Structure 1
Amino acid sequence: MREKSRHGIIKRRLRDLRNQLSVLNRQIGARVDLKEIDHDCLDLIVRDGPLSPKTLAEKAKLHPATMTGVLDRLERAGWATRRRVETDRRAVLVTPESEKVGRVGSLYAGMNARLDQICAMYSDAELEVIAKFLDEVSVAAANAANDLQ
């Protein structure tokens, strides 16, 4: 019974974390006038880009037509740019506009400083276990989302 109870506690904590990160992201999005879906896609572009619109749609699990709308909004607002690839004029890559993206990053400074303080409380070995756990949770969430498609 104790093991199931611990599992329940972890699941509850992950849900609490998701909710708190969602609140943080919504508040930051409101400050910079980014819709949640646009904010998520911009994060993917910043972390993994430059990306083709097709690759971005796949990563975000969005229909290509939906992605076109997202990219139109991001480009219109100056968050990202679609550029043709010099070697293949048919190919397009989406790149972030670093000046505007830097503003979003600065709004996360408080959270990042708190994360640094939390990480400093753990050994490298403990952080490796935590990182492995989070990686596995991320894969599990991706698999669960794929199951729903």
Structure 2
Amino acid sequence: MTSRDDLAASISDELVRRFSTSTVLYHHAIAERLGLGPSDHKCLDLLVQRGPMTGSQLATITGLTTGAITGVVGRLVSAGFVRREPDPADRRKQRLVPEPEQLPAVREFFAERKGQAESLLDGFDRDELAAIATFLQRAIDFSETGAAALRAEILHAGGRAALRSRTTEEASEEPE
């Protein structure tokens, strides 16, 4: 029988990474099926989850440049998934608002797969499901906190290019 420590190491060292990669690839395929790019799809998902926000706010959350967000927003608007409207807090800014008329197509896509996803939980009792829910919430918190910390590190270093340059310099200084 596998020890708790060995099982925990297997989960944290291998399974989480494999799960993350398979999730990214699955969401790439979902985006393609919806006629979107992967960043477009996840930005739309953030707007649906968190509600209307400005492009700058979306850029901060995602770590995408404002130029990249401009492209994402343009594609989402052209596809009819998002509309721009004046920000009530600052009329000079525009908020990005998911288009309710287009969201049923996205929800329908996921509803068609809901039974498959729910079947993953078959055979687990209430306590096991609670443990899964706890793990997933911890993983979400870890990912969100980690992403924010990495972005802060990038900003503190003077941006992506400065951080890449510094990382390259540090790697060349390491003894062989």
TM-score range, shorter chain: 0.7 to 0.9
Q: Which has the larger radius of gyration?
A: 2
Moved more, 39-48 or 49-58: 49-58
Question: CA shift at 1:34, angstroms?
Answer: 0.4
* 1:92 alignment partner, one of 60, 79, 94: 94
Matches within 5 A, 1:44-83: 44-83=46-85
Q: Which amino acid aligns with 1:97?
A: E
Cα offsets for 1:29-85 (capped at 9, x unmatched): 112210011111010011111112222112212222221221111112211111113
For the pair 1:23 / 2:44, whether they are aligned, the reply is no
In structure 1, C-alpha distance between the alignment counterparts of 2:93 and 2:126, rounded to whole Å: 42
Contact 1:52 1:92 in 2 (8 A): yes
Residue equivalent to 1:6: 7
TM-score (normalised: structure 1): 0.82
Higher relative contact order (CA 8 A, sep 6+): 1
Question: CA shift at 1:138, angstroms?
Answer: 2.0
Cα offsets for 1:104-135 (capped at 9, x unmatched): 22222243222323345434443332222112
- Which runs of no fewer than 5 residues in structure 2 stay unpaired? 155-176
Give identity over the alignment, percent: 27
Residue equivalent to 1:144: 146
- Which runs of no fewer than 5 residues in structure 1 stay unpaired? none
TM-score (normalised: structure 2): 0.71
